[in-house]
């Protein structure tokens, strides 16, 4: 890892402002690192020429004293975000060689603020997965290894490519999407920081839809401060997305380092799940001690409907997916497999274009929305969702400012270890799905290493549109736990 690639985003921003190095040099250092790290399969598309052009334009602006908030900062973009003139496939065969003619609002905001695109990162196909093993382009390999072992590990999913790229110093920050934990779980598995903002904080326009009432864009970075810097640029109102809130974006960076004295932090008893490893319990205890030492008050709380979150999520989520994915038919864009008639065209295209996990979720979703089952499954799941949301509201109304929980039930597992067991894979989301069901903000922050030397994360859950409090609390954990960097093997 070169000196330039080991900088934090904030350090790189300051270095560019002082002209210690150029945006072109910074971009080139990262492109060289990406080239050497292809064994990780973090990127599905590298945009070296575009990066060079954007960096050159940034240097010109810096030279004129017109630098914008992210001027010259090289970042990676998850392949779920449409990028104008740059292939976007959601890592699915059915979107082969699809090149959008427009940018998503989130990426347009990043380019508006001067960021430089290094490439598109790998993800689970249509963001459906918890390990980044369902991608048409193959799994992402974690830059982390167990002590004394060479077993390739998963990065978590679905935003595994972004998490790996940040952890392996192949970019200074990256975008992700989080539908049930797809930012926070990979962040925990890779020792990075991942923020899932409040639903509506970032526009969903131009992001390939998975489950529209759950999807939310958010940032990955190697520090809490860097994550706050990125979110400020990503967030904001958007007339093109009716679910995007029209309210000003705070200066999230200003919240980093702010005192947490007097904040009441809820510890939900329902998150002590059966069979939880002792090291996760110990990590959670340690996190509580750190926050207490910083002046926060720890309060035991109950979120009684949490136990229903995972089954309700896996009804709502596939139902919305089956509806959203109906548009991929082989007629307008992407893969087309000929058939004897139009029905044959649809069937052949979808049969060959969608991977196994996507087909499974589409079939589950179609079933729960079908006549005779809608009330029994989808409608009931939505009622449960309302109860889950109400649990959180009651806790916040009682004076709780945020909640502390584990981010994942285990550290990263080996590639292929859970691939044949969808239920075991779905259980990886047990601590994260409630946040999406309730539309709340959540952040995963590295908090320690397990006995095998793999990173573990803690999760903080906040009040709606109160990401600032989460950044303040996450900074406390980050300062107490220290930074974790994988030993280079690639």
Alpha-carbon distance of 156 to 181, in angstroms, equals 10
* Residue 486 DSSP symbol: P
Catalytic residue among 22, 78, 92, 120: 78
Active site residue 182: yes
Are the beta carbons of 290 and 445 closer than 8 angstroms?
no
Instruction: Classify burial at 273, counting beta carbons within 10 Å of its beta carbon; exposed 0-12, middle 13-18, buried 19 or more.
Output: middle
Query: Comparing C-alpha atoms, which of 164, 169, 53 is closest to residue 111?
Result: 53
| DSSP class per residue in 123-190 | -SGGG--SSS-S-TT-PPPPS---TT----B---SSSHHHHHHHHTTS-S-EEEEESSSTTHHHHHHH
Cβ atoms of 156 and 136 within 8 Å: the answer is no
Rg (CA), the chain: 21
Q: Are 210 and 257 in contact (CB under 8 A)?
A: no
Neighbouring-strand partners of residue 268: 301
323 noted as active-site residue:
no
- Residue 238 CA to residue 235 CA, distance in Å, equals 9
* 3-state class (DSSP) for residue 421: coil
**Torsion of Cα atoms, 125 then 128 then 130 then 132, to 10°:** 0
User: Distance between the two ends of the chain, CA-based, in angstroms?
Assistant: 11
Instruction: From the candidates 131, 158, 306, 322, give the one annotated as an active-site residue.
Output: 158
| Cα–Cα–Cα angle for 10, 177, 488, rounded to 5 degrees | 55
Catalytic residue among 104, 130, 131, 182: 182
Contact 295, 260 (CB under 8 A): yes
Distance (Å) of CA 451 to CA 144, 407, 417: 14, 17, 19
Give the CA distances from residue 255 to residues 110, 469, 471, in Å, rounded to whole numbers and listed in that order: 21, 7, 6
Residue written as tokens 């601590």? 431
Edge-to-edge strand order for the sheet containing 264-268?
A: 43-46, 116-121, 74-78, 174-178, 216-221, 193-196, 442-449, 455-462, 402-406, 264-268, 297-301
The yes-or-no answer on residue 58 being catalytic is no
Residues labelled catalytic: 78, 158, 182
């Amino acid at each position: 890892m070169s000196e330039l690639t080991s900088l934090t985003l904030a350090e790189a921003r300051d270095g560019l402002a002082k002209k210690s190095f150029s945006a072109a040099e910074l971009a080139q250092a990262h492109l060289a690192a990406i080239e050497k790290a292809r064994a990780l399969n973090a990127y599905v598309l590298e945009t070296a020429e575009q990066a060079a052009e954007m960096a050159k334009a940034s240097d010109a602006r810096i030279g004129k004293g017109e630098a914008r908030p992210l001027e010259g900062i090289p970042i990676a973009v998850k392949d779920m975000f449409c990028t104008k003139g740059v292939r976007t496939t959601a890592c699915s065969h059915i979107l082969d060689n699809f090149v959008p003619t427009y940018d998503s609002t989130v990426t347009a905001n990043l380019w508006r603020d001067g960021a430089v695109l290094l490439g598109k990162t790998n993800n689970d196909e249509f963001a459906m997965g918890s390990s980044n093993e369902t991608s048409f382009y193959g799994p992402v390999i974690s830059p982390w290894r167990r002590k004394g072992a060479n077993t390739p590990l998963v990065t978590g999913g679905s935003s595994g490519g972004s998490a790996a790229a940040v952890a392996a110093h192949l970019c200074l920050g990256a975008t992700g999407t989080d539908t049930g934990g797809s930012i926070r779980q990979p962040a925990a598995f890779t020792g990075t920081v991942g923020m899932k903002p409040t639903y509506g904080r970032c526009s969903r326009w131009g992001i390939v839809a998975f489950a529209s009432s759950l999807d939310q864009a958010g940032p990955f970075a190697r520090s809490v401060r860097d994550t706050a810097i990125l979110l400020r640029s990503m967030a904001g109102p958007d007339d093109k997305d009716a679910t995007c809130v029209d309210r000003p974006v705070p200066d999230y960076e200003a919240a980093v380092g702010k005192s947490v004295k007097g904040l009441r932090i809820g510890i939900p008893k329902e998150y002590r799940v059966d069979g939880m490893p002792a090291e996760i319990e110990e990590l959670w205890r340690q996190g509580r001690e750190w926050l207490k030492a910083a002046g926060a008050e720890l309060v035991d709380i109950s979120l009684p409907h949490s136990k229903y979150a995972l089954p309700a999520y896996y009804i709502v989520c596939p139902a919305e997916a089956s509806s959203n994915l109906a548009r991929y038919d082989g007629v307008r864009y992407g893969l087309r497999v000929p058939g004897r008639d139009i029905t044959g065209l649809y069937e052949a295209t979808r049969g060959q274009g969608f991977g196994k996990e996507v087909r499974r979720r589409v079939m589950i979703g179609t079933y729960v929305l079908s006549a005779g089952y809608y009330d029994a499954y989808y409608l009931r799941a939505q009622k449960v969702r309302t109860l889950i949301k109400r649990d959180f509201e009651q806790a916040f109304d009682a004076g709780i400012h945020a909640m502390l929980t584990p981010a994942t039930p285990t550290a990263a597992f080996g590639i292929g270890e859970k691939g044949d067991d969808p239920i075991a894979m779905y259980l990886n989301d047990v601590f994260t799905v409630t946040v999406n069901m309730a539309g709340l903000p959540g952040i995963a922050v590295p908090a320690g290493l397990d006995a095998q030397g793999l990173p573990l994360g803690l999760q903080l859950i906040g009040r709606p549109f109160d990401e600032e409090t989460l950044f303040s609390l996450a900074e406390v954990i980050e300062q107490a736990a220290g930074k974790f960097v994988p030993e280079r093997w690639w």
